[in-house]
Chains A and B, each alone.
Chain A
Amino acid sequence: MSQIAFPEPDPRILARRDEIVAGLARLVAPESLITSEDERRAFETDALTAYRRMPLAVVLPRSTEEVSAVLAYLHGQGVKVVARGAGTSLAGGAIPQEDAVVVGVSKLNRILEVNYGDRVARVQAGVTNLGITDAIMADGFFYAPDPSSQLACTIAGNIGMNSGGAHCLKHGVTTNHILGVRMVLIDGTVVDIGGDHLDANGYDLLGVIVGSEGQLGVVTEASVRILRAAEGARPVLFGFDSSEEAGACVADVIGNGIVPVAMEFMDKPAIEITEAFAHAGYPLDVAAMLIIEVEGSPAEMETQLARIVEIARKHGVRTVRESQSALEAALIWKGRKSAFGATGRVADYICMDGTVPTSKLSYVLQRTDEIVKSYGLRVANVFHAGDGNMHPLIMYNVNDPAEQAKAEEAGNDILKLCVEVGGCLTGEHGVGIEKRDLMRFQFTPVDLDQQMRVRAVFDPGWLLNPAKVFPLDQRDAA
């Protein structure tokens, strides 16, 4: 039994499906409009695959002008719109509903301009995250936010969810790297916000658009900061006999004035699952492992590593394993970035995304284990330790409705725990439908109403991705 509710589809819209599809057909080329049931099925869910809804139709516009025409038309018809990047949301942010049209940005996939002097790239929103780095890597540059799904996920989706990644500890998340967007409002108005300069003129609308989960408009272009890569980077594996020791080591590294570019944590189940998949040379005889990346010149990396090793020894580190080659370094990161996929080979899973103060990591790990065990399920932990962004992967069988319900309840208990210790429900995946009904654990009705009033400035008719983020009945209350 699915526990997360979707609103009842509007029968008046469903009844007018043919007319609405015909209207869309007048606005875009035939290959940009998907109407058959078979083809629509590819859009009925995202990476939260336990939930799916068949959209009314799917439009894949080829230009900002087409997006504008489509939104203006759907707005006029009172039809809901679910914007979609690559559909990799773990929170169900891109799951449609039966009375909504999906507007996907996948055909907007060109890099428009790269400017190294100003360290900015202008891209269409359907470009993939890794696509930007691939285009500039030969010149020594990269785009910093690096979600695990970076091979597939789009900048549009990254903007929608304010995506993070393993290297955010040093470089920050999406919101710190977007300088400007071209966005289509629900009535078809095209607005340019920001540009290739730093900081907003007037209210920081860009700041509220990033992370708005497709509820303020459809972003079609973005100007993103690009950074020069360090001279070299080297991930180093640190094995510990307990999670507590690994957690204490993380805090102590930062306390000593060192901010490595990444500090990733894996517990024993996560190490075993990913090592079997990636053969990255992870130590199998430890209870917890940190991947700490140092960067700079060879001498700088040596020095920084020596400092970190000295700290790790105080916390009883058992194994220190440096990558000996670029290939080994790539394997270490491949293992980490495929942790979710590797877990998916073992079992179905849901991935939590709460962030906690780093001083509470050990406690939250221990409680997470207890909570999941109390539901008779298994958990693997792999997460961004430096910034306290946890990713417990709760494993279950998707074909067993009772087990799915238990997994979701365990996940909810963990997220409530994250909020209780001073953290939040989601660090980088977004609220979507998954955490929508938990929002009241983190926010008061007053907090939520203020957010919803801002949302309504952009989309007064509540047509954009309407069933996400805010508890459905909070809207009635407002």
Chain B
Amino acid sequence: MTRQIIHKPQSESDVAEIVRESLGAKTPLAIEGGGTRAGLGRPSQAPATLSTALLTGVTLYEPAEMVISARAGTPVSQIERALGENGQMLPFEPMDHRAVYASAGDPTIGAVAACNISGPRRIQSGAARDHLIGLRFVNGRGEAVKSGGRVMKNVTGLDLVKLVCGSHGTLGVITEVTFKLLPRPRQTATLVIAGLDDERAVACMSAALGSPFEVSGAAHLPQTASQGARTVLRVEHFPDSVAYRMEALEKLLSPFGAPSRLDHEPSLSLWRDLRDVGPLAFPAQRALWRMSVAPTRAPRLMAALRQTLRGDCFYDWGGGLVWFATEAAGDCGAQAIRRAIGATGGHATLVRAPDEMRAALDVFEPLSPALMKLTRGVKTSFDPQGLFNPGRMYAGV
């Protein structure tokens, strides 16, 4: 379907007006930020697009309170620049999808919230949804709704922030987000252990994450044709603590082999590359799966998949997040992956595949009938006419 209309509201009240007009005209809307993650989810079937491109700007930043608010279309790069000047960061380390999708443009902070985008530090600090403390959005009735606020602790009323976060624009048009922050660690270092198989690597990462040394990243890159297996563990803190903890960790993990080290700058680029799934970004025509499982069951999951599927994988989150690239042929491996996940628990998302495949397959893990009923109910409670991103998460929702 060609999209003739692109709305670019400049304020929340503009958004509400566009939504009310679309309601009247029964015209579904595709919701778009920077467009760099357009391949995430099922292809949306909407004749008009609502873009947050002109809904920009930091609206509140209090470094001493570790809180920032910004309009949804604000580029993540602008937020990170402002935070960097004050030695702070978004703790959950949001992934940049441009490498994976070969897309251009500026990722927006609204999309980070809408898709609950986190990175390697999720394992220690929590996800985007754990740091998103406030939201403003326009629901499918054209009403501007607020949930949460700008303070660190808030249990007042139902936590709609969490529901909207990760709803991929299907519940409302996010107009403004508020995130809590952390100081940027003064120093980063990485321990690299070579040659572990997947089982040993997860055992090693579990030992590291179960240590008192606050490991903030734990990933495993299995052996490939061109490179041996590497298990990488990140420590971040003041320099004196990093020195001490690297030493202690090395001692603790000595049964897994003699590690090498990466210091600050090489660590930063390694973890940026892992955050953005650099190891599996190319070749770009392969299908890419993202699987969330209990870490100790991840090697079993991959062993099951390797029986029928060819491809490459790496583990993040201590094994709890498996990225798997395979041929975009047939069903992209969906049947085998769903069956294997059924045995290990967790869920799989088809992050990258041609449009026609993402339209034909379940992109997100299918829900049980009881959860699907609740899901449909929640969708209707926000968006009774099914105006926003129809079919983006589930066919017919």
- In this complex, the member of B62, B163, B367 whose beta carbon has the largest number of chain A beta carbons within 10 angstroms is B163
Docked-complex contact A203 and B167, CB < 8 angstroms = yes
Docked-complex contact A296 and B145, CB < 8 angstroms = no
Give A397-430 as 1s and 0s: 1 = Cβ < 8 Å from B's Cβ atoms: 0000000000000000000000000111111111
Q: In the assembled complex, which residues on chain B have CB atoms less than 8 Å from the CB atom of A300?
A: 240-241, 244
From A120, A208, A422, A428, B155 is in contact (CB under 8 Å) with A428
A208–B67 CA distance with the chains assembled, in angstroms: 22
Q: In the assembled complex, which residues on chain A have CB atoms less than 8 Å from the CB atom of B364?
A: 201-202
B112 interface residue (CB < 8 Å to A): no
Docked-complex contact B150 and A161, CB < 8 angstroms = no
From B149, B157, B206, A117 is in contact (CB under 8 Å) with B206
Q: In the assembled complex, which residues on chain B have CB atoms less than 8 Å from the CB atom of A451?
A: 147, 157-158, 160
Say which size band chain B's interface belongs to.
35 or more
A162–B130 CA distance with the chains assembled, in angstroms: 13
Give A443-459 as 1s and 0s: 1 = Cβ < 8 Å from B's Cβ atoms: 11011101101111110
Give B276-318 as 1s and 0s: 1 = Cβ < 8 Å from A's Cβ atoms: 0000000000000000111110000000000000000000010
Give B180-195 as 1s and 0s: 1 = Cβ < 8 Å from A's Cβ atoms: 0011101000000000
How many whole Å from B383's CB to the nearest CB in chain A? 11
Docked-complex contact B160 and A208, CB < 8 angstroms = yes
**A59-67, A225-233, A264-272 - interface stretch:** A225-233
Docked-complex contact B149 and A199, CB < 8 angstroms = no
How many whole Å from B216's CB to the nearest CB in chain A? 13
**A76-84, A167-175, A280-288 - interface stretch:** A167-175
- Find the B residue at minimum CB distance from A215: B158
B343 interface residue (CB < 8 Å to A): no
How many whole Å from A97's CB to the nearest CB in chain B? 21
A161–B156 CA distance with the chains assembled, in angstroms: 9
Docked-complex contact B151 and A469, CB < 8 angstroms = no
The number of inter-chain residue pairs (CB within 8 angstroms) is 259
How many whole Å from A409's CB to the nearest CB in chain B? 20
Knowing A195-B346, A428-B153, the reply to whether A454 touches B143 (Cβ < 8 A) is no
- Find the A residue at minimum CB distance from B157: A451
Q: In the assembled complex, which residues on chain B have CB atoms less than 8 Å from the CB atom of A117?
A: 202-203, 206, 210, 295-296
Docked-complex contact B129 and A358, CB < 8 angstroms = no
Give B203-234 as 1s and 0s: 1 = Cβ < 8 Å from A's Cβ atoms: 10010011110000000000000000000000
Q: In the assembled complex, which residues on chain B have CB atoms less than 8 Å from the CB atom of A210?
A: 159, 162
- In this complex, the member of A195, A197, A252, A258 whose beta carbon has the largest number of chain B beta carbons within 10 angstroms is A197
A356 interface residue (CB < 8 Å to B): yes
B166 interface residue (CB < 8 Å to A): yes
- Find the B residue at minimum CB distance from A307: B238
Docked-complex contact B143 and A446, CB < 8 angstroms = yes
- Find the B residue at minimum CB distance from A438: B156
B108 interface residue (CB < 8 Å to A): no
Docked-complex contact B151 and A422, CB < 8 angstroms = yes
Docked-complex contact A422 and B149, CB < 8 angstroms = yes
Knowing A198-B320, A199-B116, A447-B145, the reply to whether A454 touches B163 (Cβ < 8 A) is yes
**A13-21, A332-340, A384-392 - interface stretch:** A384-392
How many whole Å from A308's CB to the nearest CB in chain B? 13
A476 interface residue (CB < 8 Å to B): no
- Find the A residue at minimum CB distance from B208: A228
Docked-complex contact A359 and B370, CB < 8 angstroms = no
**B253-261, B325-333, B371-379 - interface stretch:** B371-379
Knowing A193-B371, A259-B182, A447-B145, the reply to whether A198 touches B321 (Cβ < 8 A) is yes
A341 interface residue (CB < 8 Å to B): no
- Residues from 223 to 258 in A contacting B, C-beta threshold 8 Å: 228-231, 251-252, 254-255, 257-258
A55 interface residue (CB < 8 Å to B): no
A176 interface residue (CB < 8 Å to B): yes
A118 interface residue (CB < 8 Å to B): yes
A115 interface residue (CB < 8 Å to B): yes
A355 interface residue (CB < 8 Å to B): yes
B272 interface residue (CB < 8 Å to A): no
Q: In the assembled complex, which residues on chain B have CB atoms less than 8 Å from the CB atom of A447?
A: 145-147, 157
A94–B210 CA distance with the chains assembled, in angstroms: 36
A450–B381 CA distance with the chains assembled, in angstroms: 7
A211 interface residue (CB < 8 Å to B): yes
From B159, B166, B296, A162 is in contact (CB under 8 Å) with B159
From B126, B152, B375, A387 is in contact (CB under 8 Å) with B152
Q: In the assembled complex, which residues on chain B have CB atoms less than 8 Å from the CB atom of A109?
A: none
How many whole Å from A115's CB to the nearest CB in chain B? 7
Docked-complex contact A455 and B156, CB < 8 angstroms = no
- Residues from 356 to 394 in B contacting A, C-beta threshold 8 Å: 364-365, 367-368, 370-371, 374-375, 377-378, 380-382, 393-394
B345 interface residue (CB < 8 Å to A): yes
How many whole Å from A365's CB to the nearest CB in chain B? 16
A466 interface residue (CB < 8 Å to B): no
Give A291-312 as 1s and 0s: 1 = Cβ < 8 Å from B's Cβ atoms: 0000011011001000000000
How many whole Å from B286's CB to the nearest CB in chain A? 23
Docked-complex contact A203 and B166, CB < 8 angstroms = yes
Docked-complex contact A207 and B292, CB < 8 angstroms = no
A276 interface residue (CB < 8 Å to B): no
B9 interface residue (CB < 8 Å to A): no
Q: In the assembled complex, which residues on chain B have CB atoms less than 8 Å from the CB atom of A454?
A: 158, 160, 163, 378, 381-382
**16 extra interchain contacts, Cβ-Cβ under 8 A, other than A203-B163, A357-B67, A450-B139?**
A162-B159, A164-B155, A197-B320, A198-B317, A202-B371, A203-B374, A204-B162, A210-B159, A212-B158, A259-B183, A303-B238, A357-B150, A359-B62, A442-B157, A443-B156, A450-B143
15 A-B residue pairings within 8 Å (CB atoms):
A120-B294, A192-B368, A197-B293, A198-B127, A199-B129, A205-B375, A254-B66, A257-B87, A300-B241, A431-B155, A431-B157, A448-B157, A450-B145, A450-B160, A454-B381
**Which residues of B line the A interface, CB within 8 A?**
62-67, 87, 116, 118, 122-123, 126-127, 129-130, 139, 143-147, 149-163, 165-167, 171, 182-184, 186, 202-203, 206, 209-212, 238, 240-241, 244, 248, 292-296, 317, 320-321, 345-347, 364-365, 367-368, 370-371, 374-375, 377-378, 380-382, 393-394
**Which residues of A line the B interface, CB within 8 A?**
115-120, 140-141, 161-162, 164, 168-169, 172-173, 175-176, 185, 189, 191-193, 195-208, 210-212, 228-231, 251-252, 254-255, 257-259, 296-297, 299-300, 303, 355-359, 384, 386-389, 422-431, 435, 439, 442-444, 446-448, 450-451, 453-458, 469
Among all A-B residue pairs, the 7 with the closest Cβ atoms: A207-B162, A457-B377, A257-B183, A201-B347, A427-B153, A387-B152, A453-B381
